[in-house]
Structure 1
Amino acid sequence: MIPHAPLNDALELASEWPQLLAQAQRLAHSFALGGHGRRRAGAGDIFWQFRPAQAGDSLRAIDWRRSARADDQFVRENEWQAAQSVQFWVDTSASMYFASEGSSKHFRAAMLALAVGVLLSDAGEKIGSSDGLLPAKPGRAQIPALAQVFSRISDDDFGTPQTDDLKPHSLAVFVSDFFGDFAKLERAVTSAADQQIAGALLMVLDPQEVNFPFAGRTLFESMSGGLRYESQKADGLRAKYRSALQDRQAALASLAQSVGWQFQCHTTDQPASAGLMWLYQALEYRR
C-alpha cells in the first residue's frame, strides 16, 4: 500500500496554522527581493528613472534640467503605484494531503502561497482568494485570513480552481497537484484569461509521485479511500505512469502558454525557497 498520512489527519491542521503562518513569514522574510514591487513607469509621485526621449513623447514629458547635462533629451518617469489585485486558489482536496515523508503537498502549497502573499502585501498589493470567500484587499490582516481559507478541507478526491469571483484585470495563482479533470481546469483558466486575468500555475508533487518507486504487490488507494487499485507487479507500471505524468505536465505547460500564463512543477523535497522564487518572479513578470 502507498504510505500516506490518513485523511483524518487533515482535521488537525487547524492547530498547525500558527506554525504554517510562522514558516510562511520566515520564508518570505528570508527572500532577497532586491528591486521588488511595482518597478515600472506609471502614475505616482515616487521618482523611478530617467530614460531617453522617444518619438511620441510630449514636450511636457521632457525633463529639461536633466537634458541640459547631455546632448540627448530625457524623460522623467515615476514609479507605478496603483495596487494590483492578486487572488489565490490552493487546492484543499483529499489528494493534496498525501505525504510520503515530511510535509504534505497541501502544507507546502499553502506555505508558498502565503509566503508570496506576505511579499505582495508588503509591496502594497491587494491579496485575496479566487472563490470570493476573501475579497482582495491590502494589508497584512489578509494573511491569516487567507490561511483560514486554505484550511477549508474539501471532500473531493481532486480539486478544480474556483474562478467565478475573480476580478477582471487582476492576477491569479493556482497551486495544486492538478491531478483532477483537465477539461475543468482548462475551462477555469481560459475563463480567467477571457477576463484579462494573468496568472501562474504551480504544480506541487510528492517525490514518490515523480519517481514511482513501487515494486511487487502494491495496493494503490486514493486519500479519500474511494479509489483502489491492486497490482501484483507495480514496477511494471512505472514507465506507463511516468509517461502519463509527463503528458499531464506538458498539457499544463501548453495550457499556460496558450493564455500567457506561467507554469512550473515543484516537489516537496525541493527547498521551499526555490518554489517561492519562481512564483514571485512569475507574478513580477506580469505586474
Structure 2
Amino acid sequence: MTATLQARAEALGQTLPPLLAEAEILAATVMLGEHGRRRAGLGDEFWQYRAAHAGDPARAIDWRRSARADAHFVREREWQAAQSVTLWVDPSKSMAFAGAKDRAPKADRARLLALALAVLLLRGGERVGLAGLALPRAGRTQIVRLAARLSGDETGGDYGVPETAGMVGHGRAVFLSDFLGPLEGVEQALARAADRGVRGALLQILDPAEEEFPFDGRVIFESMGGGLRHETQQAGQLRARYLARLAERRDRLTQLARAVGWQFSTHHTGGPAQPALLWLYRALEGGR
C-alpha cells in the first residue's frame, strides 16, 4: 500500500507542475480586466450603490446614503451564487485520441483549457470546482487542488456523460468533451442544470482528423476503449456520410445548448488554445 501510494505521489509530482505551468502561461496570454464578473443579487457582501428606480421597494433604499444626496440610493449586494463555476472535463477513453504523433490527445487540451479558465476565474474572485470531484472554492489553493484532480488518466467507457454533481444553483458551468457518444446524457445533464438555473457553455474538442476524415482505402476504425470496431475496404466513400453526420451532431448540440440558454462552440487540437479560452470566458459572461 505504501509503495503504491508513493508511486502515485511521484507520478503526480511529475505531471502536476507542467500542467499548472502551462495553464498559468495560457491564462497570461488572455488580457482581461482586473475585476471578476460581479453581479447584483441576493448575496451577503456589499457591492455598490445605485440610484433607485421606479418599482424598487422602500425597504431596498439605503436611507443613510440617500440622506447625503438629493436622490434615493439602493444598496446592492453581490450575487454569490452566480460566481460559482463548475467545470466538467470528459474523462472517457475517447478523449485519449490523437490523430498524429505531434499532436497531444484531446484530453490534454481539455484539461489545459479547464485549468487555464479556472486560473482566470479564481484570479477574478470566482469560486471554481470540478463536477463530482471538487466543490467550488476560491483561492490559490483551489488551483492546485483542481490541477491534481485533472491529472488523472482517462477512465470509464468509450464516451463520457456530463456530470452535474456539485453545481451551485444559479451558478455557471462548462462541459468540455468531444461529445461523440450518445447525446441523451448531454440532454439530461443540460435539463438538470436548467432546473437549477445554471447557465454555461459546451465546448466540443476534436482532433483535426475527426473533423477532416483523411482516410482512404482499407481502414479499421476502433474506439479508444475497444468497444466499437468497423472495418472497411473503401474508407474514402464514407467521408461524405461521416461529415454529414458530424454536421448534424453539431447542429443538435447547438440546439440543445440554445434551448437552455447555454452556448456551444467547437475547438480543434491542431490550433492554438488561446481563442478557445477567450471564448469560454466570454461565454460565461453571456457574450459571444
TM-score relative to the length of structure 2 = 0.82
What is the aligned partner in structure 1 of residue 20 from structure 2? 21
Q: CA deviation at 1:13?
A: 8.3
What is the aligned partner in structure 2 of residue 31 from structure 1? 30
SS in 1 for 2:266: strand
Structure 1 pair 276–165 and aligned structure 2 pair: CA distance change class (3 A): same
Please provide the CA RMSD for this pair.
2.7
SS in 2 for 1:169: coil
User: Given the alignment of the two structures, is residue 56 of structure 1 paired with residue 55 of structure 2, yes or no?
Assistant: yes
Could you tell which deviates more after superposition, 33-42 or 21-30?
A: 33-42
What is the aligned partner in structure 1 of residue 146 from structure 2? 146
User: Is the 1:91–1:161 Cα contact (8 Å) retained in structure 2?
Assistant: yes
1:186-233 Cα offsets, whole Å, 9 max, x none, are 111111211111121110000010011111111112112332211111
User: Is the 1:169–1:197 Cα contact (8 Å) retained in structure 2?
Assistant: yes
User: Is the 1:38–1:79 Cα contact (8 Å) retained in structure 2?
Assistant: no
> Matches of 1:18 and 1:113 in 2, distance apart?
15
Mapping of residues 1-287 of structure 1, within 5 Å: 15-34=14-33, 36-41=35-40, 44-45=45-46, 47=48, 54-57=53-56, 60=61, 80=78, 82=80, 84-101=83-100, 102-131=103-132, 133-150=133-150, 151-285=152-286
> Matches of 1:155 and 1:267 in 2, distance apart?
23
User: Is the 1:37–1:284 Cα contact (8 Å) retained in structure 2?
Assistant: no
SS in 1 for 2:135: coil
Structure 1 pair 20–165 and aligned structure 2 pair: CA distance change class (3 A): same
> Matches of 2:13 and 2:239 in 1, distance apart?
36
Q: CA deviation at 1:264?
A: 0.8
> Matches of 2:207 and 2:256 in 1, distance apart?
22
What is the aligned partner in structure 1 of residue 7 from structure 2? none
Structure 1 pair 254–81 and aligned structure 2 pair: CA distance change class (3 A): closer
Structure 1 pair 243–36 and aligned structure 2 pair: CA distance change class (3 A): farther
> Matches of 2:95 and 2:13 in 1, distance apart?
16
Q: CA deviation at 1:143?
A: 1.6
1:98-155 Cα offsets, whole Å, 9 max, x none, are 1123111100011111111011111111111111x21111112112222232225313
User: Is the 1:66–1:74 Cα contact (8 Å) retained in structure 2?
Assistant: no
| Structure 1 unmatched ranges of 5 or more | 1-11
User: Is the 1:41–1:80 Cα contact (8 Å) retained in structure 2?
Assistant: yes
1:246-282 Cα offsets, whole Å, 9 max, x none, are 1111110100001111111111122201000000011
Structure 1 pair 162–67 and aligned structure 2 pair: CA distance change class (3 A): same
Amino acid at match of 2:125: G
| Structure 2 unmatched ranges of 5 or more | 1-10
> Matches of 2:259 and 2:84 in 1, distance apart?
22
> Matches of 2:87 and 2:210 in 1, distance apart?
24
> Matches of 1:180 and 1:162 in 2, distance apart?
14
> Matches of 1:28 and 1:116 in 2, distance apart?
7
> Matches of 1:47 and 1:175 in 2, distance apart?
34
Amino acid at match of 2:80: A
Amino acid at match of 1:145: R
> Matches of 2:99 and 2:30 in 1, distance apart?
27
Number of residue equivalences: 268
Identity rate of aligned residues, in percent? 45
SS in 1 for 2:129: strand
TM-score relative to the length of structure 1 = 0.83
Amino acid at match of 1:148: A
SS in 2 for 1:141: helix
